[in-house]
Structure 1
Amino acid sequence: MDKQAKKTALRGITYGLYLVGTKGEAGVNAFAGNFLTQTSFEPPLVTLAVKAGTRSQQEIAQSGVFSVNILESGQKDMVTAFFRSITQEDNQLAGYPFYLKETGCPIFEDALSFFECKVVEKVEKGDHFIYVGEVINAGVHREGDPLTMKETGFYYGG
């Protein structure tokens, strides 16, 4: 297989870029995620892939819940802040205010919308865990166009 062709082809898959919230013994956490898709209408299910061995992956495995925050086009700086380890200060992560709802995972005030999930299945494949989450709560803060990987110039995959 031509490795460059494989990389180019896989990078052609379109992705959004989201803030995924978790919770654990050290408090709440969030990371920039893009391996996410809706997989069922009824019940409402999404599939999320999370790199194995990370704090976030371990927190989802232990708590069985996560939140997904849909960011708005132009919020590259916000998502970039979550590419590294972050700490909680009061009701902020990386300087961005959040609140909690049903799962106890962070929901960011600056996000367009959010949904919260309860893990109903997990699979370990390759270097990621794949979580199937049932959407148990959702909300909309405002209307807008969602942030995409393409707009940021970032690449993940291949």
Structure 2
Amino acid sequence: MNKWRCNVCGYIHEGDKPPAECPICGVGPEDFVVVKELAAEQQLAVKRWKCTVCDYVHTGDTPPDSCPLCGVGSELFVLLLDEAVKLTREAVAEAGPETANSALDKISYGLYIVTSIKDNTINGQCCNTVFQVTSNPLRVSICLNKNNLTHEYVVASGVFAVSMLGSDQTDAVRRFGYQSGRNVDKFAGIEYIFGKNGCPILKDCLAYIEAKVLPDKTVDIGTHTLFIADVTSGRMVANAEALTYSLYRRSKR
């Protein structure tokens, strides 16, 4: 039995032939290659490249020509230096931005679907940068790439909703994270409900919140915009394990 690796997202499939469709990113069998069994020392030498825009991690000798999540070129990928070291004064002295990338890769992230509305049109995207910033008042922050359509909608309407995903909802990551709303209707065939602020909420989400952006607290951080927003509504929907970025990565192997 062979192991087949998806060239787009890194998903590993076991079988005599590649799958008809990648369960993670949806590409066909032509984008799968046989994974050759490597010696232990060779496996340790496999390089990992991290997209500095969306945090996608690619495995290979070189970075991909373009990121399958956000579309940026190979020049915006950095090599993750995964060698573990004993923490000494010398190790601290030798550390720098290159070694910091691997450290940042250990930060725990969730995976969420952020949605918004503009001119009665809806869109949504997968986002791993959603976090609470204060409890009183109740505020959250999201960070979106300026090139994304959802960013345009949030800027225009000043509102958004966040649908939290369960651990078994990796298909939502594929739908909302691997394609653009400029080319496809991401909500086709998806059950959703409009929230109080007009943004769609996935019916099978783990929980959701609705929020209103505070324009005076919005921050331009280069490739992205950091939106600070007041939480206006929200509710727990299901009691289950949340989908994290780490869990999602493991599901691709």
What is the TM-score normalised by the length of structure 2?
0.56
Larger radius of gyration: 2
Alpha-carbon separation, structure 2, partners of 1:95 and 1:79: 15
1:137 and 1:2, CA in 2 relative to 1: closer, same or farther beyond 3 A? Answer: closer
Measured on the aligned residues, the alpha-carbon RMSD in Å equals: 1.6
Q: SS at 2:218's partner residue?
A: strand
Counterpart code for 1:103:
N
1:147 and 1:94, CA in 2 relative to 1: closer, same or farther beyond 3 A? Answer: farther
Q: SS at 2:191's partner residue?
A: strand
Q: How far 1:94 sits from its partner (Å)?
A: 4.5
Match of 2:122 in 1: 28
Alpha-carbon separation, structure 2, partners of 1:50 and 1:85: 14
Moved more, 67-76 or 19-28: 19-28
Q: How far 1:126 sits from its partner (Å)?
A: 2.2
Match of 1:141 in 2: 237
Counterpart code for 1:60:
V
User: Are positions 1:77 and 2:157 aligned together?
Assistant: no
RCO comparison, higher one (Cα < 8 Å, 6+): 1
Q: Sequence identity, in percent?
A: 28
Q: How far 1:66 sits from its partner (Å)?
A: 0.4
The structure richer in strand per residue is 1
Q: SS at 1:82's partner residue?
A: helix
Q: Show the 5 A alignment for 1:19-58.
A: 19-25=113-119, 27-58=121-152
Unaligned residue ranges in structure 2 (runs of 5+): 1-95
- Deviations for 1:93-140, whole angstroms, at most 9, x for unmatched residues? 143211112111110001011000000131101211000011001022
Q: Show the 5 A alignment for 1:124-139.
A: 124-139=220-235
Unaligned residue ranges in structure 1 (runs of 5+): none
User: Are positions 1:59 and 2:59 aligned together?
Assistant: no
What is the TM-score normalised by the length of structure 1?
0.88
